[in-house]
A and B are shown apart, each in its own frame.
Chain A
Amino acid sequence: MTDSQLVARAQEGDIPAFEELVKKYQREIYGLAYRLVLDAEEAKDLAQQAFLQAFVHIRSFRQQAQFRTWLFRIAINQCYSYLKSKKKFGEPVDPEEFVTVGEESPEEDLVTKDRRQRLYIALERLPAKQRAVITLKLEQGLSYEEIARVLGGTTGAARVNYCQALKTLKKYLQNEDEHEVAVRSYPKVVARISRR
């Protein structure tokens, strides 16, 4: 059954039809939320909240846009609200917590974990909008037009945003590498500083 047929049934209050849509897009929405908030438990809650909001407001969806894009937009708005409240009231996240998602897979070696952790630290330093652009472009494979529809603004603005985000991420990753090299070169100095 196609998305538009499932959406039409969900608009009549058919919960199983909507749950079909959930099964179809749950991984993408969860992945997007995880990349944006960098917290497995919060990402799960936000993904559920996004689906719930979509279900409550599904009658206002006019089928002119793609359901997937509409869903991404809702999820990103949920994540923005969360990040806003976290910025106001939350505590800074410990970078050690970033690797919680990958811990279950036994084949993942230490090097991969280390790389993933460094990536998450760098991603965490990016502004939320740039993180969203990177995720939508590189993970979800959306075109600039679709990104513009999800985040608002023009296609050109989406392209510029992506270019800027990628360059900033590269800079942050290089900084992380340089920091790693410095720590390995001068372990005694680092230990002394950390003791202070």
Chain B
Amino acid sequence: MKWRCALIQRWLPAYLDGDLPSFWRARLGSHLQGCPACREELAGLREVVRIVQAAATPDQGPAFWQTFHQELHLKLAQNAPAPEPSRFLKLPYYLVGAPALATLVFWAFTHLGQPPQKPLLTAMVGPEQVVYAGMEDGAWQNDEYPSWDVDAVMADLTHQERQAVLQNVRY
């Protein structure tokens, strides 16, 4: 086989399709006119194409396809994908950050912005819980509970007693 024939015969299947660029088609056509070996090769390829196309897979008949569908339907039903997530869940993830940040800022503002408040004495200890020493022993009369009016109490004291009280309060 001549080297030119070898080169030409490489493109013969595409020449059969008519799928070659016009330049190559013209070149192959002119070569085929004068080369019986390449014409024979082309005829052989054409015969192969005819054989393959003639031996197409025969139709299997309705019973085959009915079984095919039944089996496939079962498989499809078993492997049906989960329903599509709602559009809200398909939002970009960076949009989730905005409400989260707003919540964080709100919480920080409400909880960290105000100074700490001292708890009220009445909230900590109810008035009914105040028990004077000796009240249950009967040491005090009903109206004689000690007054919380410091000035009134201090006024009844002597100078020495007052100094002693102030000394105790200070330390």
Known contacts A27-B59, A48-B71: does B52 contact A144 (CB below 8 Å)? no
Known: A104-B58, A167-B13, A174-B44. 18 other contacts (CB 8 A): A13-B84, A18-B76, A22-B69, A47-B68, A48-B71, A52-B76, A52-B79, A55-B76, A55-B80, A55-B81, A56-B81, A59-B84, A115-B54, A138-B52, A163-B11, A166-B13, A170-B47, A173-B51
A residues apposed to B, CB below 8 Å: 11-13, 15, 18-19, 22-23, 26-27, 30-31, 34-35, 44, 47-48, 51-52, 55-56, 59, 101-102, 104-105, 108, 112, 115-116, 119, 134, 137-139, 143-144, 159, 162-163, 166-167, 169-170, 173-174
Known contacts A30-B57, A170-B45: does B14 contact A162 (CB below 8 Å)? yes
Q: Can you report 6 A-B residue pairs in the complex whose CB atoms are below 8 A from each other?
A: A13-B80, A19-B72, A48-B72, A55-B80, A119-B55, A167-B45
- State the interface size on chain B (CB cutoff 8 A): 39
Provide the residues of chain A in CB contact with B48, threshold 8 Å.
Answer: 166, 169-170, 173
B residues apposed to A, CB below 8 Å: 9-14, 17, 19, 44-45, 47-49, 51-61, 64-65, 68-69, 71-73, 75-77, 79-81, 83-84
A-B residue pairs, 9 tightest by C-beta:
A31-B57, A163-B13, A166-B13, A170-B48, A116-B55, A138-B52, A34-B57, A48-B72, A119-B55
Which of B53, B57, B75 has the largest count of A CB atoms less than 10 A from its CB?
Answer: B57
Set B13, B51, B75: member contacting A162, Cβ < 8 A = B13
Known contacts A52-B72, A101-B57, A102-B58: does B12 contact A163 (CB below 8 Å)? yes
Bound-complex Cα distance A139 to B53 (A) = 6
Which of B52, B61, B79 has the largest count of A CB atoms less than 10 A from its CB?
Answer: B52
Provide the residues of chain B in CB contact with A13, threshold 8 Å.
Answer: 80-81, 83-84
Min C-beta distance of B134 to chain A, whole Å: 84
Provide the residues of chain A in CB contact with B69, threshold 8 Å.
Answer: 19, 22-23
Provide the residues of chain A in CB contact with B10, threshold 8 Å.
Answer: 163
Set B56, B61, B68, B73: member contacting A104, Cβ < 8 A = B61
Bound-complex Cα distance A68 to B52 (A) = 22
